[in-house]
Structure formats: C-alpha cells, structure tokens
Amino acid sequence: TMVTLYDKIGEKRLKQIIERFYDKIYQSPIAHLFQNDKNEIASKQIAFITQFLGGPLIYSELHGHPRMRARHLPHAIDNTAKDIWLDCMFDAINEVIEDKNLAIELFDCFPRVAQHMVNQ
C-alpha cells in the first residue's frame, strides 16, 4: 500500500504540530478569528489534517463533508491573515519535524488550501 504523508508524520507528531500552531495563532494578530474553545478547534483541525494527509477519515465521520471554504466564510480572511496563518504553520512544523525534507513536503500542502480560504 502507498505510504501517505500522514503515515510519515504519525499521529503523535501531527498533534504536537497542531498544538504548537494554535499556541502561535492565539498569540498572533489573527487570534480574533478563532473565537471558539481552543481545544475544540484543535481537535477539529487534527481530524481534518489527518484526513487531508491521507489518514483515517475521522473528520467526515464526525462533522460531514469538510466544505472548508464555506465553513470559513463567516470570517473575514484577507491575504495578511492567510500569510500569518501560514507563518504559524511553517514554524510549528519546523519545530516538530527535524527532517527538513519532510517538513517542506508537509508545509507545501497548505499554501494552496490557505489561498482558497481568502474571501476579502
């Protein structure tokens, strides 16, 4: 069977990345876009990224089809917000993943998706 990016990173490291990512987000200029409970947001994000990277379909089982752009429309997301989000993700990934090639491969999954969330 094909080895997915999720397999390469593993559940434990993915959780560490998302936890660090939200620590950074909540200290960033876009913290106001994340009003819900941090743990709830983080667990949804872990479920989504697990699925997004080829892991188990946890997110769809819990929440239905991701419809990520529609879910983000209530938030005013401009290019600055997108860049801050990507910077936080980049830093979190590189703090957790020591293998630089793997870190780059993982980070490269996000810019196109992030651009798709821009609605301002």
**Per-residue pLDDT tens over the stretch 7-36:** 999 999 999 999 999 999 999 999 999 888
Residue-wise pLDDT for 51-93, tens only, equals: 999 999 999 998 888 888 888 888 889 999 999 999 999 999 9
User: What whole-number distance in Å separates Cα of residue 52 and Cα of residue 18?
Assistant: 14
CB 88 within 8 A of CB 28: yes
> What does the pLDDT read at residue 69?
85
User: What whole-number distance in Å separates Cα of residue 31 and Cα of residue 34?
Assistant: 6
88/113: higher pLDDT: 88
> What does the pLDDT read at residue 82?
97
Place of tokens 């801050």: 84
CB 89 within 8 A of CB 97: no
State yes or no: pLDDT of 1 exceeds 80. no
Q: Which of 79, 110, 75 is nearest to 5 (CA)?
A: 110
User: Quick one: average pLDDT of 82-111?
Assistant: 98
State yes or no: pLDDT of 46 exceeds 90. yes
What secondary structure, in 3-state letters, does 101-120 show? HHHHHHHCCCHHHHHHHCCC
DSSP state of 84: H
1/60: higher pLDDT: 60
Q: Label residue 105 by pLDDT band (50, 70, 90).
A: very high
> What does the pLDDT read at residue 66?
85
